[in-house]
């Protein structure tokens, strides 16, 4: 049953289904399996809810306008994809969301050189157009019965939607949730003032503004203090703005352990496990699993491993590092260059210290979820060292599937560190030497402590069940009389 029985309407850039075409020309549907899809599907299915997302490709656009029925465990919900003119979508998606907001909130710019904001005005126009279209679609869908729908608006792509929807439906129940970190007020000042203010005011159109971790909520509150006309209560996490009260809440997203275990026991993951074991032999296994993404800090992870091998030569030939990178945003030059650098760095380390019978790092660059699950089962050490990360689901998935009392090395700047940090080895992700030392500490840890920490990680994940995330957001709104 849904948390409150009210119809849930979700808005996000990427939807739970996408379309492609077979060689024969036949249109095929792919069901997404990301964290958001898993966390939201149950709540939506229980209310016969609706998910509105952008048509992200030509094939998606060919299906726009049609209502797609998604089956979720025997129950269902509907999906509607919104079509956009490609130049508007590009400005919104790559121009603003991927290249400005993602970089800003993860502190990815090399600030002496970037950003330069070329083409900003045009991209911002696209962002406005797409956000307006989402608000319009949400209004249409939520009109009947009036006041009944609960709107859950997702992420930095749709920061303007809460205020735009509020203009149309002043009494609507609206929550906005950021899956990624939120920059502090100094970082926010990189943005031109009108854009900074529009983004903050846009999010403040919601009744509840949600984040994955306390640090991001606090940054948002501090940012709101720079917006004229707001009154911010940092302690109670309340912003008064335009005669309304907005609550800022922390709701860490979770994972579905049962679903993961099922997938990890299926043949594709079993086959991948056999393959990894054959390559590994009797060595110990260090693993990382990420999108090939700048914020994941892949380069410093490799450098830390190199430092570890230099400082601990007794481990040469006794450990291998499996880096599973799922290609991401490879159409952006920053991502292509970063991925290339990771490949070259791994090659350099392999040729420096590798031997005919030992490959120190294996970098796999492909979309291969079963292999990631197999690696989770087998690691001795899991390295999760993002520079900043909203949550990081890998840090939760790994310990749930691991069969070796593996040790988690976790960046203190990942949202997950709030829940898992005390059972992990915490690292400052910028400190390569400290990360190298953490690898040594993890490998040398005694079995009793490994077991205790692995158990701690598993129970921390179990304490936050997957369905709690949607429920908590709906309850927030109810508590505010929405």
**Would strands 231-233 and 238-241 be described as parallel, antiparallel, or unpaired?**
antiparallel
> Residue 151 class from Cβ within 10 Å (0-12 exposed, 13-18 middle, 19+ buried)?
buried
Q: Give φ, ψ of 102 to 5 degrees.
A: -60, -45
Based on the shown chain and the rule CB under 6 A, indicate whether residue 364 belongs to the binding site for ligand GDG: no
Which one among 42, 207, 306, 389 touches ligand GDG, defined by CB under 6 A?
389
Show Cβ contacts of residue 189 under 8 Å, excluding neighbours closer than 6 positions.
196
> Residue 3 class from Cβ within 10 Å (0-12 exposed, 13-18 middle, 19+ buried)?
buried
Which one among 88, 207, 397, 467 touches ligand GDG, defined by CB under 6 A?
397
Q: Nearest CA to 420 among 293, 252, 296, 258? A: 252
**Would strands 67-72 and 50-54 be described as parallel, antiparallel, or unpaired?**
unpaired
CB of 92 to ligand GDG, least distance (A): 18
Q: Segment near ligand GDG (CB under 6 A), from 83-91, 336-344, 368-376, 474-482?
A: 368-376
Residue whose pair of structure tokens reads 């492909």 in the numeric block: 366
Query: Closer to ligand GDG at the Cβ: 36 or 160?
Result: 36
CB of 142 to ligand GDG, least distance (A): 24
Based on the shown chain and the rule CB under 6 A, indicate whether residue 367 belongs to the binding site for ligand GDG: yes
Which one among 158, 160, 183, 289 touches ligand GDG, defined by CB under 6 A?
289
Which one among 394, 425, 466, 474 touches ligand GDG, defined by CB under 6 A?
394
Q: Segment near ligand GDG (CB under 6 A), from 187-195, 333-341, 361-369, 402-410?
A: 361-369
Based on the shown chain and the rule CB under 6 A, indicate whether residue 10 belongs to the binding site for ligand GDG: no
Based on the shown chain and the rule CB under 6 A, indicate whether residue 209 belongs to the binding site for ligand GDG: no
How far is 461 from 469, CA to CA, in rounded Å? 13
Query: Closer to ligand GDG at the Cβ: 142 or 398?
Result: 398
How far is 148 from 164, CA to CA, in rounded Å? 18
Based on the shown chain and the rule CB under 6 A, indicate whether residue 291 belongs to the binding site for ligand GDG: yes
Bridge partners (DSSP) listed for residue 31: 17
Based on the shown chain and the rule CB under 6 A, indicate whether residue 475 belongs to the binding site for ligand GDG: no
Answer whether 206's CB lies under 8 Å from 152's CB.
no
How far is 27 from 49, CA to CA, in rounded Å? 25
Based on the shown chain and the rule CB under 6 A, indicate whether residue 391 belongs to the binding site for ligand GDG: yes
How many residues line the site for ligand GDG (CB under 6 A)?
Answer: 19
> Binders of ligand GDG among 306-335, rule CB under 6 A?
326
Q: Segment near ligand GDG (CB under 6 A), from 198-206, 312-320, 349-357, 365-373?
A: 365-373
Q: Nearest CA to 139 among 177, 167, 160, 178? A: 167
CB of 153 to ligand GDG, least distance (A): 14
Site string for ligand GDG, 171-190 (x = CB under 6 A): --------xx----------
> Tokens for 457?
């990680």
Work out the number of other CB atoms within 10 angstroms of the CB of residue 228: 5
Q: Which residues bind ligand GDG (CB under 6 A)?
A: 35-36, 179-180, 253, 289, 291, 326, 367-369, 372, 389-394, 397
């Amino acid at each position: 049953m849904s948390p409150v029985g009210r119809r849930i309407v979700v808005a996000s850039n990427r939807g739970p289904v996408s379309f492609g075409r077979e060689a024969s020309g036949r249109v095929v549907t792919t069901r997404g399996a990301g964290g958001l899809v898993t966390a939201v599907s149950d709540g939506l299915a229980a209310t016969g809810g609706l998910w509105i997302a952008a048509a992200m490709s030509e094939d998606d656009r060919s299906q726009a306008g049609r209502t797609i029925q998604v089956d979720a465990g025997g129950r269902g919900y509907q999906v509607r994809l919104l079509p956009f003119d490609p130049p508007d979508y590009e400005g919104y998606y790559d121009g603003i969301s991927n290249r400005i907001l993602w970089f800003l909130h993860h502190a990815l710019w090399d600030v002496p050189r970037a950003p330069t904001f070329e083409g900003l005005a045009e991209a911002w126009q696209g962002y406005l157009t797409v956000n307006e279209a989402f608000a319009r679609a949400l209004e249409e869908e939520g009109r009947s019965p009036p006041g009944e729908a609960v709107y859950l608006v997702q992420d930095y792509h749709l920061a303007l939607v809460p205020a735009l929807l509020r203009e149309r439906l002043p009494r609507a129940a609206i929550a906005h949730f950021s899956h990624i970190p939120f920059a502090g007020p100094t970082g926010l000042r990189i943005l031109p003032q009108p854009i900074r203010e529009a983004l903050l005011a846009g999010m403040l159109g919601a009744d509840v503004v949600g984040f994955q971790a306390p640090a991001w909520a606090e940054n948002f509150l501090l940012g709101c203090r720079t917006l004229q006309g707001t009154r911010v209560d940092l302690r109670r996490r309340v912003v008064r703005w335009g005669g309304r009260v907005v609550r800022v809440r922390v709701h860490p997203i979770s994972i579905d352990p049962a679903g993961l275990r099922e997938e990890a026991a299926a043949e594709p993951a079993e086959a991948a496990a056999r393959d990894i074991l054959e390559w590994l032999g009797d060595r110990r296994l260090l693993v990382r699993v990420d999108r090939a993404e700048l914020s994941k800090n892949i380069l410093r992870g490799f450098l830390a491993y190199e430092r570890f091998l230099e400082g601990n030569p007794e481990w040469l030939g006794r450990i291998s590092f499996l880096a599973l990178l799922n290609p991401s945003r490879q159409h952006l030059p920053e991502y292509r260059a970063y991925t290339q650098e990771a490949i070259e760095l791994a090659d350099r380390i392999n040729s420096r210290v590798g031997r005919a019978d030992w490959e120190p790092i294996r970098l796999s660059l492909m979309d291969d979820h079963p292999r990631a699950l197999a690696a989770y089962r087998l690691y001795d050490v899991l390295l999760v060292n993002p520079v900043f990360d909203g949550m990081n689901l890998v840090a939760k998935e790994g310990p749930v599937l691991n069969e070796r009392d593996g040790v988690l090395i976790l960046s203190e700047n990942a949202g997950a560190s709030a829940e898992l940090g005390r059972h992990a080895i915490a690292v400052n992700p910028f400190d390569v030497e400290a990360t190298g030392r953490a690898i040594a500490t993890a490998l040398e840890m005694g079995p009793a402590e490994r077991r205790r920490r692995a158990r701690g990680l598993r129970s921390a994940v179990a304490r936050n069940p997957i369905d709690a995330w949607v429920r908590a957001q709906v309850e927030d709104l109810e508590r505010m009389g929405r």
